[in-house]
């Protein structure tokens, strides 16, 4: 086995910390494979995904790895022994090799620095640019210091006690970073947003592709965790940012891809790479491209059907045109926010009727159904089960998930703030014309937990507000409701006291006395007659 090449300024007793968000880098790897030419020599500066490295090698590419930690370099040398992979150990500042067809820095620029030399972002990118041959491709991932993940995380900007080395972020907006790359003689620079973060993103979406039509796929990347409180629900934040045209500006991280040489002058189709956060056995990276007819989707990788624990995913069903229109859940959230019960009733009734006409109800939740205007269609139709639930059970499950979303996101809605999620589910079902019981809701909850466990999805949302902002909003609504109830109680108490006072005054009046004198004998006769009858 060849020895590790020492580039200088090696960090001898260092290992890169594990990712903040564990998971697969399959989505980012697929994007990189599409964006760089196959074959040739590729330099991966900083930590690289194992699946990406092996897939590049499989296409005839010679891969060079540059790692600052000596322990990481030795581990990589052992892992890729016998493959066309060369491992270098040291800092980017000391690395002097050139002539690469592609250079990838996917773990962030800060992971290329060492204590001896801390390069600024422009200097680090310029150093990477110098390693390229003419016509080569540079792909750089940069963490966003004002991304949705950092806005939502109360711990952002505060280093944990076990962080030995800061990760760092870029100090420029996304447009400024793109312009900076252009000044380095990089042409046709493309910008992608990474969601939900730099580590193991489940959505890599080009700036032009950050539209409301794909917002459901993007926001599904976040999962609630009671062990990781947030300032605000990041799904709501990203959804609103995309609607406002700020989806890329608030992306947790960015991927910039450009090449040296003369600009082509042609703009490629807007592209997105994504998949819902599911277990690796069911993962299918979806490649979405836009054209004049809308969005089209193709599944990447192995087309074979995935089957496990009675659930099936068929990648071939993902191919074709993507249904155009908003998610039913988004339409309902907007209608609830405006207390538009007519729209809620109409859409939920349509949804239940639609469920009764189709099979494959496992994936037909409100966050996976598109309202095209002409009807309802599944956004991701690839899911099936050997034991399909009835339309009523599937609808109850969907209503339960929506009720949880209303509560955890503290969304404005026309129902009392203190009502439980179970009762709210029953109310939603009644709005759609379904009569269900608490037992039906519990059955739907068990089914949802079973599906989540089998598919590797987050298991059920919290019924409590997810973020501090949502908690404050809920407290405010509860305070308002309590104040209104107290005001009503005070009004009724005062009304009772007033009526008692009026009654006492009436009993002391001359009219009341005359009435007692007149009616007294009659009352005595009635009582006597009752006694005689006994």
* pLDDT single digits (tens) 264-277: 555 567 788 888 77
How high does pLDDT run on average in the chain? 82
- Cβ count near 434 (within 10 Å): 18
Please tell me which of 160-174, 303-317, 454-468 the model is most confident about, judged by mean pLDDT.
303-317
Tell me what pLDDT residue 163 has.
44
Q: What number of residues does the chain have?
A: 534
pLDDT in tens, 401-425: 999 888 877 788 898 877 889 999 9
Which residue, among 129, 124, 48, has the nearest Cα to 86 in the 3D structure? 48
Which residue, among 399, 409, 411, has the nearest Cα to 339 in the 3D structure? 411
The CA distance from 92 to 123, in Å, is 10
DSSP string of 381-417, one letter each residue: --EEESSPPPHHHHHHHHHHHHHHHHHHTT---SS-T
Q: pTM for the whole thing?
A: 0.79
Cβ within 8 Å of residue 115, ≥6 positions away: 11
Quick check: 396 and 404 in contact, CB under 8 A?
no
Asked if the model's pLDDT at residue 144 lies above 90, the reply is: no
The CA distance from 384 to 311, in Å, is 6
* Three-class DSSP labels, 335-369: HHHCCCHHHHHHHHHHHHHHHCCCCCCCCCCHHHE
Q: Which two tokens stand for residue 528?
A: 């006597």
Q: Is the peptide bond before 366 cis (omega within 30 degrees of 0)?
A: no
Mean pLDDT score, 513-518? 75
Tell me what pLDDT residue 326 has.
87
Range of weakest confidence among 127-141, 177-191, 282-296, 364-378: 177-191
85 DSSP β-pair partners: 63
pLDDT in tens, 84-97: 999 999 888 888 89
Reported in sequence order, the residue ranges of 237-373 that DSSP labels E, i.e. its strands, are 253-260, 271-274, 286-291, 294-299, 306-308, 311-313, 320-321, 369-371
pLDDT in tens, 210-219: 887 788 778 7
* Cα 6 from chain centre: 41
Mean pLDDT score, 168-190? 67
Q: Which two tokens stand for residue 360?
A: 């494959």
Range of weakest confidence among 141-150, 151-160, 314-323, 458-467: 458-467
- Cβ count near 263 (within 10 Å): 12
Question: Looking at per-residue confidence, does 533 or 143 come out higher?
Answer: 143
Q: Which two tokens stand for residue 505?
A: 């005054």
Q: Which two tokens stand for residue 399?
A: 């209503």
Asked if the model's pLDDT at residue 367 lies above 60, the reply is: yes
Please tell me which of 207-211, 429-433, 453-457 the model is most confident about, judged by mean pLDDT.
429-433
Cβ within 8 Å of residue 369, ≥6 positions away: 327, 328, 329, 351, 354, 376, 377, 378, 379
112 DSSP β-pair partners: none
Mean pLDDT score, 298-320? 87
């Amino acid at each position: 086995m060849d020895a590790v090449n020492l580039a200088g300024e090696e960090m001898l007793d260092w290992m890169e910390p594990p990712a903040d968000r564990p998971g697969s880098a399959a989505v980012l790897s697929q994007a990189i494979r599409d964006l760089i030419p196959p074959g040739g020599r590729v330099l991966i500066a900083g930590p690289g995904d194992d699946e990406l490295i092996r897939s590049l090698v499989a296409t005839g590419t010679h891969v060079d790895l540059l790692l600052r930690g000596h322990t990481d370099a030795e581990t990589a040398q052992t892992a890729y022994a016998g493959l066309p992979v060369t491992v270098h150990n040291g800092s980017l500042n000391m690395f002097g090799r050139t002539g690469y067809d592609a250079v990838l820095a996917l773990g962030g620029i800060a992971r290329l620095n060492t204590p001896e030399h801390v390069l600024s972002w422009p200097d680090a990118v310029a150093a990477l640019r110098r390693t390229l041959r003419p016509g080569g491709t540079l792909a750089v991932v940069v963490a966003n210091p004002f991304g949705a993940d950092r806005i939502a995380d109360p711990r952002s900007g505060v280093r944990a006690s076990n962080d030995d080395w800061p990760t760092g972020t870029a100090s420029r907006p996304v447009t400024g970073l793109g312009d900076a790359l252009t000044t380095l003689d990089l042409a046709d620079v493309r910008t992608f947003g990474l969601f939900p973060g730099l580590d193991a993103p489940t959505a890599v979406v080009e700036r032009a592709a950050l539209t409301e039509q794909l917002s459901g796929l993007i926001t599904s990347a976040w999962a609630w965790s009671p062990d990781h409180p947030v300032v605000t629900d990041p799904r709501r934040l990203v959804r609103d940012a995309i609607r406002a045209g700020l989806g890329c500006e608030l992306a947790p991280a960015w991927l910039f891809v450009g090449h040296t040489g003369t600009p082509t002058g042609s703009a490629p189709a807007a592209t997105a790479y994504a998949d819902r956060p599911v277990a690796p056995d069911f993962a299918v990276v979806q490649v979405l491209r836009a054209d004049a007819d809308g969005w089209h989707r193709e599944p990447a990788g192995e087309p074979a059907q995935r089957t496990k624990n009675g659930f099936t995913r068929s990648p071939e069903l993902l191919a074709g045109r993507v249904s155009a229109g908003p998610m039913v859940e988004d339409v309902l959230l907007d209608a609830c926010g405006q207390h538009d019960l007519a729209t809620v009733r109409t859409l939920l009734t349509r949804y239940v009727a639609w469920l009764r006409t189709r099979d494959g109800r496992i994936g037909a939740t409100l966050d996976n159904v598109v309202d095209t205007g002409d009807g309802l269609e599944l956004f991701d139709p690839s899911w099936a089960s050997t034991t399909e639930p009835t339309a009523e059970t599937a609808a109850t499950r969907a209503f339960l998930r929506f009720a949880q979303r209303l509560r955890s996101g503290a969304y404005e809605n026309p129902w009392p703030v203190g009502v439980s999620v179970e009762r709210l589910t029953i109310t939603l079902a009644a709005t759609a014309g379904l009569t269900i019981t608490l037992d039906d809701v519990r059955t739907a909850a068990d089914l949802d937990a079973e599906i989540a466990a089998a598919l590797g999805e987050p298991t059920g949302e919290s019924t409590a507000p997810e973020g501090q902002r949502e908690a404050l909003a809920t407290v405010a609504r509860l305070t308002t409701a309590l104040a209104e109830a107290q005001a009503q109680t005070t009004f009724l108490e005062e009304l009772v006291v007033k009526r008692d006072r009026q009654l006492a005054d009436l009993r002391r009046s001359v009219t009341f006395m005359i009435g007692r004198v007149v009616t007294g004998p009659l009352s005595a006769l009635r009582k006597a007659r009752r006694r005689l009858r006994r």
